[in-house]
Amino acid sequence: MTQPTPPFLSGAKPGIGHALEFQKDRTRLMLRGFGEHGNVFAIKLGNQNVAIIIGPENQKIFFLETDKKLSIQEPYRFLRAMFGDVLFLAPHEEYLRQRPFVQELFKREKMLQYIDVMQEVIQAWMDGLGDSGEMELNEQIVYLVQEVAGNCFLGRDAHRQIGTEFWNLYQDLSKGLDPLLPPNLPLPRFIKRDRAKARMLDILRPIIAERRQHPEKYDDFLQDLVMKEDHHGVPIEDEIVRNLLLGLMFAGHETTSGQASWSIIFLLQYPDYLQRVLAELAEVAPRGTRITPKAMVELEHIGWLTQEVERLRPSVDLLLRVVKEDTRFGDYVVPAGWLVQVAQDVAHRLPLYFDRPEEFDPLRFAPDRAEDKQHRFTLIGFGGGAHKCPGMNFANTEITLITALLFREYELELVTKEPYVVHGVGASHPSETIVRYRRKAV
- What pLDDT does residue 268 have? 98
Return the beta strands (E) in 46-203 as ranges: 48-53, 70-71, 132-136
Amino acid, single-letter form, for residue 263: S
- Cα–Cα distance for residue pair 92/402, rounded to 1 Å: 36
- Determine how β-strand 70-71 pairs with β-strand 429-430: unpaired
- What pLDDT does residue 285 have? 96
Mean pLDDT value of segment 221-226:
87
Is residue 106 pLDDT above 90, yes or no? no
CATH code for the domain of 260: 1.10.630.10
- pTM reported for the whole predicted model: 0.93
Q: Which of 205-209, 253-257, 312-316, 410-414 has the lowest mean pLDDT?
A: 253-257
- What pLDDT does residue 265 have? 98
Angle among Cα 293, 299, 304 to the nearest 5 degrees reads 125
Q: What are phi and psi of 133, to 5 degrees?
A: 155, -165
Mean pLDDT value of segment 339-346:
95
Is residue 1 pLDDT above 60, yes or no? no
Would 4 be classed as within a structural domain? no
Would 105 be classed as within a structural domain? yes
**Structural domain of residue 261, as residue ranges?**
54-408
Residue scoring higher pLDDT (67 or 138): 138
Would 227 be classed as within a structural domain? yes
Cβ proximity of 306 and 300 under 8 Å: no
Q: How many residues in total does the chain contain?
A: 442
Is residue 99 pLDDT above 90, yes or no? no
Would 68 be classed as within a structural domain? yes
Query: pLDDT grade, residue 2 (50/70/90)?
Result: low
pLDDT digits (tens, 9 = 90+) for 17-26: 999 999 888 8
Q: Which one, of 253, 255, 264, 254, lies nearest residue 302 by Cα?
A: 264
- What pLDDT does residue 94 have? 85
pLDDT digits (tens, 9 = 90+) for 392-432: 999 999 999 999 999 999 999 999 999 999 886 667 899 99
Q: Strand pairing partners for 340?
A: 51, 321
Residue scoring higher pLDDT (234 or 261): 261
- What pLDDT does residue 11 have? 95
Would 39 be classed as within a structural domain? no
- What is the average pLDDT value for the chain, to the nearest integer? 92
Mean pLDDT value of segment 221-235:
85
Is residue 253 pLDDT above 80, yes or no? no
Cβ proximity of 435 and 137 under 8 Å: yes
Residue 74, classified by CB atoms within 10 Å of its CB into exposed (0-12), middle (13-18) or buried (19+), is middle
Would 289 be classed as within a structural domain? yes
Is residue 150 pLDDT above 60, yes or no? yes
Number of domains in the chain: 1
- What pLDDT does residue 425 have? 65
Calculate the alpha carbon distances from 4 to 7, 175, 330, 364, 400 in Å: 8, 39, 11, 37, 46
Residue scoring higher pLDDT (299 or 233): 299
- Cα–Cα distance for residue pair 168/174, rounded to 1 Å: 10
- What pLDDT does residue 317 have? 77
- 3-state SS class at 255: helix
- What pLDDT does residue 79 have? 86
Q: Which of 165-169, 197-201, 245-249, 292-296 has the lowest mean pLDDT?
A: 245-249
Give the distance, in angstroms, between the CA of residue 245 and the centroid of all CA atoms in the same chain: 15
- What pLDDT does residue 347 have? 95
Is residue 176 pLDDT above 60, yes or no? yes
Cβ proximity of 329 and 338 under 8 Å: no
- What pLDDT does residue 153 have? 87
- What pLDDT does residue 90 have? 85
Mean pLDDT value of segment 280-294:
95
